Amino acid sequence: MKTSSSSPLLVLLLTAAALLLAAPRQAQAQDHGTVDASLNDGLSFHSADDAFQLRFGMAMQARLDAAHTLSDERLTTAAVPLVRPSLRGRLGAPWLNLFVQPELAGSTPKLLDLALDLSFDPGINLRVGQFRTPFSRTFITPITNLLFTERSPADVFFRAGRDTGAMVFGAFADGRLEYNLGAFNGNGINGKNDDRDFEGIARVAFNPLGAITYDEIPAIQGSQPLRIGIGVGALRGERTDAPTAERAGGKTTWTGAEVDLALHAALFAFQAEGYARWTDVASGEDSRGLGGYAQAGALVWGPWLEVGARASYVDPSDAADDDDTLTVEGVANVYGLGNHLKLQSRFGVESFQGHQGQVGTLLTQVMF
């Protein structure tokens, strides 16, 4: 699938228009549908029998950073890093669902997600389109449900990112066992597969005490029962968009492994992931990278104040000396209207080659 990165809003509008044109036919067959608006569901339309649904949502962030960089510069920047309208639709049957989400922030808007789900059974589901690949637990978690509103630097480095492909997924035994198995272009977001090679990604998770949500701030919904999740991910494939491949002028073959642990209990949540990547380049520049992170957060005052901390480590290649990075961060989150309004204050210290950089961030997130 080839998708233009310059027209995500057009894709969203055309999709919405097509679904709205179909809506009257659904509603006419079952008398009248309903239109609702709420913080939890956004603006939604439901046919009388709920076979046809549309939900429009939005997530936005604004932030202010004050940084003392590794190169000893002092910078203050203000930005709107995230403006993501979304459209979710049920297309005439409970087993056929659509999700569309562009990113409108930045100088060039782009399409993030355009995925169609066929949900036959809790244990057997099919997703096709462009979407988040299932290599790590934190990347599957929606960005609005993250403790730090940004994923760990370790996850950003080792994950496969969004890609175009197909995936089967499901859960068994009341959510105690999960699996994801997908084949993707391997060319990244909005990329075109320029050969016959694909990237395979798989993840399995075991939740011995019952299903555990993909949510790093679950206590916002109330005190949580004890839940533990243990996951393992793997990927293998050739990529042409990897930095190493660009330097070498050839393709990069990635083999990756991931293990993750999540624990939810009462008002506390802990999560950790470890990564390894073996990289083979046609020029012979082979290497291995290692990394990981651990984080914890807890509500300390009603449903309004949360504090947390995270440590991340990345060693991108054993072929180079002294190229590892350690990042330690602390965060305080204030919530209003559940998770629909989030005010975040955080401070981080990054250590690289004997130098240190610091950054303080104030962020506002609105979501409905």
Provide the token pair at 106.
Answer: 């930045």
50, amino acid identity: D
The pLDDT value recorded for residue 20 is 52
Distance in angstroms (rounded) separating the CA atoms of residues 213 and 264: 9
Residue 3 contacts by C-beta under 8 Å, 6 or more apart in sequence?
A: 11, 111, 114, 130, 164, 190
Residues of the chain with pLDDT > 70, as a percent, come to 86
pLDDT, the chain, mean = 88
The pLDDT value recorded for residue 46 is 87
Inform me whether the pLDDT recorded for 163 exceeds 90. yes
Give the phi and the psi of residue 62 in degrees, each rounded to 5: -130, 140
User: Is pLDDT larger for residue 266 or for residue 70?
Assistant: 266
The pLDDT value recorded for residue 259 is 98
Inform me whether the pLDDT recorded for 25 exceeds 50. no
The pLDDT value recorded for residue 2 is 42
DSSP 137: H
The pLDDT value recorded for residue 327 is 97
The Cβ of residue 50 has, within 10 Å, a number of other Cβ atoms equal to 12
User: What is the tens place of the pLDDT at every residue in 241-288?
Assistant: 555 444 445 567 889 999 999 999 999 999 999 999 998 876 666 789
Which of the four pLDDT bands, split at 50, 70 and 90, describes residue 24?
very low
The pLDDT value recorded for residue 353 is 86
Mean pLDDT of 168-194: 90
Inform me whether the pLDDT recorded for 14 exceeds 70. no
Name residue, tokens 């949360």: 306
Low-confidence winner among 14-28, 32-46, 75-89, 259-273 (lowest mean pLDDT): 14-28
The pLDDT value recorded for residue 29 is 40
The pLDDT value recorded for residue 263 is 98
User: Is pLDDT larger for residue 36 or for residue 271?
Assistant: 271
Mean pLDDT of 71-88: 94
User: What is the tens place of the pLDDT at every residue in 185-213?
Assistant: 988 887 776 667 789 999 999 999 999 99
Inform me whether the pLDDT recorded for 107 exceeds 50. yes
User: What is the tens place of the pLDDT at every residue in 291-312?
Assistant: 999 999 999 999 999 999 999 9
Inform me whether the pLDDT recorded for 215 exceeds 60. yes
How remote is the C-alpha of 22 from its chain's centroid? 31
User: What is the tens place of the pLDDT at every residue in 323-345?
Assistant: 899 999 999 999 999 899 999 99
Residue 43's DSSP bridge partners are 37, 56
Instruction: Kindly list the structural domains of the chain, giving each domain's residue range(s) and its CATH number in brackets, ordered by start.
Output: 8-367 (2.40.160.10)
The pLDDT value recorded for residue 292 is 98
Question: Can you count the helices (H) and strands (E) in the chain?
Answer: 4, 18
